[in-house]
Amino acid sequence: MLRELQITNLAIIDKLHVEFSPGLNILTGETGAGKSIIIDAVNLILGGRGSSDLIRSGAKEASVEAVFDLTGRDTLLKSLAAAGIDCDGELLVRRTVAPGGKNRVFIGGGLATTALLAEVCRSLINIYGQHDAQTLLKTDQHLLLLDGFAGSLPMRHEFAARFEEYQGARQELKALEEGEREAARRLDLIAFQSGEIADGKLVPGEEEELSEERVRLAHSGRLTEVSQGAFDQLYGGDAAILGGLTGVIQGVADAGRIDQALTPVAQALETAYAQLEDAALSLRDYAARIDSDPARLEELEDRLDLINRLKKKYGATVEEILAYQAEIDAELAALTNRGETREGLQARIGDLEGELASLGAKLTSARKAGAVRLKEGMERELSELAMKHAVFETSFEKSAEPRSFGFERAEFLFSPNPGEPPRPIAKVASGGELSRLMLALKQLHPDSEVPTLIFDEVDTGIGGATSALVGEKLKRVAREQQVLAITHLPQVAAFADQHLKVEKGVEHGRTATSVQLLEGEERVAEVARMLSGARVTDKTLEHAREMIQEAAR
C-alpha cells in the first residue's frame, strides 16, 4: 500500500508530506484547494508526463517521493526482484521534474528510467477518476477482468500453456521446412567431411609417436655412428676406456691395503666402472636396433602429411578433429532423420490443435456465461450508484485462429442514458462514470492484485441516499485494498478510516496547499462544513456526528 507521499514545489504546493493508512482514506476540501494536484503527483509516480509547467513558480525543480509498504505482497516482491529491484518489504520511489521537462527517476535508491517507473508503480496503484484510469480504458484488459469475474482464469492459464507449446511446435516445423534446401547442402557437406575423417582412421596421440619415429629414421646413420663409436671407445677396442680403468682400479685397491683412506676411492671407481659398463652395453644394443628403412620413412611422411591436411580443415590437433567428427555425426543423424522429425511435429501440432479447440470451447462458454452474470451485476450496482438506466454489456470478437488468451477478444460496452446503444467505455464514459464503473466492478469482483486504488470524485452527479451507498461500497473495497477517495459528499466522507483535509492558504505572501489529518471533533466539523457550507450550526454538527457514528456501525 501507499504509506507516505511527499510533494515539493509542485504547482501551488511548496512542501507537503502526507501519511496514508490501510483501509479507506478520504480526502476532502474546498474546490481549488489542491486535491487534484495530489492526483497529479501520484500520476508522476505512475510514469505520467512531467512537464516544466508543473514546477512551482520560482523553484528550480519539482519532486515527488512515495513510500510503499509491500509486506505480504510476495508476488509483487518477486516481480520487483526480477526487474533488479531489491527491497525488504518497503519501496521508495522518487521523481524530479526540472525546466525543459528533464526528469530523473530513482527506484529503491537507484537511478532508473521513467518506463521502468511506470511498469513498477502501475502494479502498485490504479487511479479511477476525471482524467486517469488505467484498467477500464485499456481494451486488452477487459478479457482479463472478465476471466477474473467468471472464474475462468485457471482455464485461461491452461490454454496459454498449450498455446505456447503449439506455437513452439509450429515454429520448429516452419524452420524445418524453410531449411530443407540448406539442410540438403549441409547434409552433403558434413557427410563428406565425416567420411574423410573416418578414412583417416586417426588415433589420439599417434602424431607425436609418428613424429618421433620419423626423426629417428631420418637420422639413423648418424645415430648408429655415434652409438657404435661410443661403445667401441668404452668397451670394444684394444684401447677401450674400461680396459684401462680396470688397471687403475686394481692399483688403487692394492694401495688401499697399505692406507685404508684409499679404500673408498677404490670402491667409487668400481661403481663408476659398473655404470660405464652398463652404458656401453646399452649403446651397443641401441646401435643394433637402429633400422635405416627408407620405405618406412616414406610411409611415416605420408601418414603425417595426411594428418596435417586434416588438421588444416578440421582442428589444430588429432583430438580436436575427432571431437569435430563426433559433432557432425550427431548433426548428420539429425538431418538424416528429418523426415521422422517432421512427421512427429505435424502429429504433435494436430494433437495440440485438438486440445486448444476443446479448451477454447470451454473457455468461450465460461466467458459468455460470466458476461451474462457480469451484465446483471454491473447494472444492479450502477443502478444503486444513481445510474438506474445504465446498460453494461460485453462484446466478443471471434477469431478463427487461437491466440494465447483463447479464440476471442472482449470489450466492455456502456450506455449511461436510456435509448442510447451501448458503446466502448473509452468513448462514452465521463470521469465520474468511469469511477463508478470501476467501483461497481470491484464490488462484484474484489480482487487484490493492485494494492492501492484511487477514486477521484467517484460521487460526481450523486446525491441523497445514493451518496451513503457509495461510501459503503468504497468501505467494502477498502477491506481488501487500500483506497484513497476524493469526495465532496459528507455521506461518503463519513465512512473514512482516515480523513484528510486539503486546504489552501497564504504563507509569506504566496498561496500554498496543506493537508491536515482530522480526528474527533475536527472530523465532525469538516463533515458539518460539507453538509451546510460556510455556516455551521450546532444542529449541523450533531447531524455530522450522527452520520459518522452511523457509518461506523
DSSP 482: E
> What order do you get walking across the sheet with 2-10 strand by strand?
13-19, 2-10, 62-69, 90-98, 102-107, 110-112
Secondary structure element (H or E) that encloses residue 139, with its range? helix 139-150
- Please give the pLDDT value at position 132: 46
Task: State the first-to-last Cα distance of the chain, in angstroms, to the nearest integer.
Answer: 25
Q: What letters, b where the CB count within 10 A reaches 16 and e where it falls short, cover 114-151?
A: beebbebbbbbbbbbbbebbbbbeeeeebbbbbbbbbe
pLDDT by residue for the chain (553 residues), tens digit each?
Answer: 999 999 998 888 888 899 999 999 999 988 777 788 888 898 898 888 877 888 888 888 999 999 999 887 787 788 778 777 877 788 999 999 888 778 899 988 788 888 888 888 878 888 876 544 456 788 888 999 899 899 999 999 999 999 999 999 999 888 777 666 677 778 788 888 888 888 888 888 888 888 877 777 777 768 777 777 777 788 876 668 887 888 888 888 888 888 888 888 888 888 988 888 888 888 787 777 777 677 777 777 788 888 888 888 888 888 889 999 999 888 888 777 665 667 888 889 999 999 999 999 999 999 999 999 999 999 998 988 888 899 999 999 999 899 999 999 999 999 988 888 999 988 888 777 887 888 888 888 866 678 898 888 777 767 667 788 888 888 988 988 899 999 889 999 999 999 999 988 887 778 888 899 999 999 999 999 988 877 888 899 999 999 999 888 8
For residues 496 and 478, the answer to whether their CB atoms sit within 8 Å is no
Name the grid cell of 260.
685404508
Among 453, 507, 457, smallest CA distance to 475 is for 453
For the range 56-61, what are the long-range contacts, defined as Cβ-Cβ under 8 Å and sequence gap of 24 or more? Answer: 56/9, 56/10, 56/11, 56/12, 56/13, 56/14, 59/9, 60/9, 60/98, 60/99, 61/9, 61/96, 61/97, 61/98, 61/99
DSSP 232: I
Q: Mutual orientation of helices 318-336 and 338-384 as an angle, nearest 10°?
A: 70
Residue identified by cell 470478437 is: 397
DSSP-assigned beta bridge partners for residue 69: 90
- Please give the pLDDT value at position 461: 67
DSSP 13: E
DSSP-assigned beta bridge partners for residue 62: 97
Give the number of other Cβ atoms within 10 Å of residue 382's Cβ: 22
Q: How far apart are CA 398 and CA 332, in angstroms?
A: 45
For residues 474 and 458, the answer to whether their CB atoms sit within 8 Å is yes
Vertex 335: Cα angle to 334 and 336 (nearest 5): 90
The 3-class SS string of 15-79 reads EEEEECCCCEEEEECCCCCCHHHHHHHHHHHCCCCCCHHHECCCCCCEEEEEEEECCCCHHHHHH
Vertex 69: Cα angle to 445 and 107 (nearest 5): 110
Residue identified by cell 492526483 is: 39
